[in-house]
Structure 1
Amino acid sequence: MSKTNNKGQERVVTGIPGVDDILGGGYLPESATLVRGEPGSGKSIFSLHFLAAGLDTDETGLYINLGEPEDYIRDTARHFGFAIDAIEFLNLSASGDQFQGEETYTLFESGEVETPSLVESIRAEIQEINPDRVVVDPVTEFRYLAPDEHQFRSQILGLINFLKSEGATVLLTSQAAASMPDDDLQFLVDAVINVKAEADRRTIHVSKFRGSSVRSGHHTLRITDDGMRVWPRLDPNRHEREHNSTKLSSGVPALDSLLSGGLTTGTITFLSGPTGVGKTTTGLQFMKEAAGRGQRSVLYSFEEDHNTLFERAEAVNIPVTEMIDRGTLNVEVIGPEELTVDEFTHHIRSEVEDKDAEIVMIDGTSGFEQSLRGVDEDPMRDLVKVGRYLRNMGVTGLVTNEVHNITGEFRATDQGMSYLADSIVVLRHVEYKGSLRKVIGVLKMRTSQYENQLRELEITEHGLRVGDSLPELRGILTGTPTWDDDGD
């Protein structure tokens, strides 16, 4: 099916969810695209998607198979639910009819040599059925039929030009391997798509696309019972909407006072402190108050399961179950290596763009780094992209960041993340007269003034309680707190 993208360019859809987005709408009409990958990377499935998509709009398709026999390809199509009965096959595989006789075939035109020509067979088939879409799988098999590299390139270029001149959009597959380089083929086509099966994930990468810009990077690809699906990498620059900044109240007056009225919407706030100090609970408090106004929030937990999270929240008067039932909260627990970073950001986009989530909380920067597959060598790059996306969409982001020292000298972030945060709320254990207490304060707010004092924090069965400021308590952030008046 041809369609027009947002720049007015006509495109031919790929049939694979996510790939059209990467290509700016799909393939260019009457172009030739090389799909490269090692055996088992999914090239044939990629091709079947392309032909099946054409059938949906009454386009004709031709599958020229030189590798696997036709029966195998049709069985593969049925396995993934592709209805390709109307697809024509030109079976040039070793088991095909073309090779059942005593004749020896060559790539050359029949006028050049005495043996029959595969090019001639292809030309006759094209002229007979006039296909809109053509797959040649794999084109690298032709290399074995040519006497030298020059003749191979010449004949393949002639074949590509002929198919395009007949009005076909062409997909060619290549067995990409170090022992069989295909650099010459990459020069002959209009676009090159690389599919790769790695130990922990599959990816797709567009290394060439004449006539248009594409989305760069290695994007997550999965093969499921329904075929292929691709999750493009998040590009924050592609997403933006108008929004007016307001204050987001916590519902705890003393906490709002610390923040000069609350958090600023559309900003990123880090809740930073050691384990057990109340970072997640503090974030949920903002979500609880937002739920009372009918606003939707989503929490992505990398470190706690549903039961633990729900029990802790309900125990401090945060009714997460009720909030979920009313549609004002969604909690997703992300297990180790369950998702790639591309799939995770797709979840966020779905919540923001389809379900109007106004608060997004990422509970655990360490879990983000360790649980998601495909995170950049510098995990901050992916987290920064998420933060920029949320800002552009006017969504308030909350990020819990665990620092490893429970007491002693305080560091707001262990991973140099402070430049991502518009605001940093610090939570801290302090020892006083043989007991541990909690304190809370604001270390940074880019968008407004804030109270530069620390307050005592208590987490009770009735919820959060933030007490008065503690001017008599000094040295909390240095690790040696002292009380000017002995705490009386």
Structure 2
Amino acid sequence: MSPIDRVPTGIPGLDEIIEGGLLKGRTHLVAGETGTGKTILSLQFLLHGVKLGERGIYMAIDEDKENIIKGAESFGWDLSRYVEMGAISIMQIVPGFAEKFKKKYIEAAVGSVITGIKREMERIGATRLVIDPIAPLLTKEEDIPFTREYIRELVLAIEQQLGCTTLIVSEIPTGSNALSRFGVEEFLASGIITLGLLRKSTQVYRTLCVRKMRWTAVDPVLYKFKIVKGVGVVVEGPLAE
């Protein structure tokens, strides 16, 4: 029996937990409240790919490209150099997407995103993809059913048409026990990594949990991690009780 192909994340302490890496060609969810390290982990995944000779795409939904580059630079990552090299592409939301999304044209909205990503994948030869976040954060309550359907169709299209190893980012509302913002992402993803902040007495710990990874023997325990400038997320080990 042939082993499942894995894509190493390069995140110290994480690949050991998930038998060597993410599932190749599948979609994985990174979820957590604001400030838990989701974007840093996602960029770290792309930057490690560059070290291995791979190329990646970071699709920004709610943030300006220049702000992402400046933020990475202040963290110790010269992202602009990799962008200039063509190793990493930072995509803004594709033209016309907002109007299609607003009018609830699911097929057109998904089609425009997939076409844009596919064109960029072919241009630079990308095999890694990050979409951060998976859907606009300023989604109105009445638009949530549509957004769920959009996410479902988008994830299916990514896996069927693109075949890249993907991280989709979902910001969980503060104080919520949910696994995602829209309540559908966790059912579509092949893997789920949740990031959190846990207060114990006077200490606050950063926590990581692999809630799901298909065909992988993972223990759903909390791991303590730190964020190291210029490195990213570093998983230190199980959180002591």
Do they fold alike, i.e. is TM over 0.5?
Answer: yes
CA shift for structure 1 position 162:
1.6
Per the alignment, in what secondary structure is the counterpart of residue 16 of structure 2?
helix
Please point out which of 167, 170, 194 is paired with 2:166. Answer: 170
One-letter amino acid of the structure 2 residue matched with residue 56 of structure 1: K
Instruction: Return closer, same or farther for 1:107/1:146 CA change in 2, 3 Å cut-off.
Output: farther
Higher gyration radius (CA): 1
CA shift for structure 1 position 25:
0.7
1:371-397 deviations in whole A, cap 9, x for unaligned? Answer: xxx431xxxxxxxxxxxxxxxxxxxxx
Instruction: Return closer, same or farther for 1:145/1:121 CA change in 2, 3 Å cut-off.
Output: farther
Matched with 1:55 is 50
Q: Does 2:235 match 1:230? A: yes
CA shift for structure 1 position 201:
1.2
- Cα separation, 1, equivalents of 2:67 and 2:112: 22
State whether residues 22 and 232 of structure 1, in contact with CA within 8 Å, keep that contact through their aligned partners in structure 2.
Answer: no
Matched with 2:189 is 189
Matched with 2:225 is 221
- Cα separation, 2, equivalents of 1:202 and 1:78: 23
CA shift for structure 1 position 81:
3.5
Matched with 1:211 is 215
Identity %: 28
State whether residues 170 and 181 of structure 2, in contact with CA within 8 Å, keep that contact through their aligned partners in structure 1.
Answer: no
CA shift for structure 1 position 77:
2.2
State whether residues 23 and 213 of structure 1, in contact with CA within 8 Å, keep that contact through their aligned partners in structure 2.
Answer: yes
1:204-259 deviations in whole A, cap 9, x for unaligned? Answer: 001111121124311111011122111233xxxxxxxxxxxxxxxxxxxxxxxxxx
Aligned pair count reads 220
Give 1:378-393 correspondences, 5 Å limit: none
Matched with 1:89 is 90
TM-score (norm 2): 0.79
Matched with 2:67 is 72
Whose RCO is larger (CA < 8 A, sep 6+)?
2
One-letter amino acid of the structure 1 residue matched with residue 234 of structure 2: R
- Cα separation, 2, equivalents of 1:80 and 1:181: 27
One-letter amino acid of the structure 2 residue matched with residue 151 of structure 1: F
- Cα separation, 2, equivalents of 1:208 and 1:43: 17
CA shift for structure 1 position 64:
1.0
Give 1:194-343 correspondences, 5 Å limit: 194-199=194-199, 200-226=204-230, 227-233=232-238
Instruction: Return closer, same or farther for 1:81/1:73 CA change in 2, 3 Å cut-off.
Output: same
Q: State the superposition RMSD in angstroms.
A: 2.9
- Cα separation, 1, equivalents of 2:194 and 2:141: 25
- Cα separation, 1, equivalents of 2:61 and 2:140: 12
Give 1:302-451 correspondences, 5 Å limit: 374-376=239-241
State whether residues 148 and 182 of structure 2, in contact with CA within 8 Å, keep that contact through their aligned partners in structure 1.
Answer: no
Give the unaligned 5+ runs of structure 2: none
TM-score (norm 1): 0.41
- Cα separation, 2, equivalents of 1:157 and 1:147: 17
- Cα separation, 2, equivalents of 1:34 and 1:104: 23
Give 1:450-461 correspondences, 5 Å limit: none
CA shift for structure 1 position 83:
4.3
- Cα separation, 2, equivalents of 1:128 and 1:145: 30
Instruction: Return closer, same or farther for 1:146/1:171 CA change in 2, 3 Å cut-off.
Output: farther
1:100-156 deviations in whole A, cap 9, x for unaligned? Answer: xxx95233899x48xx95433322222212231111111142772796444322221
Matched with 1:107 is 101
Instruction: Return closer, same or farther for 1:74/1:39 CA change in 2, 3 Å cut-off.
Output: same
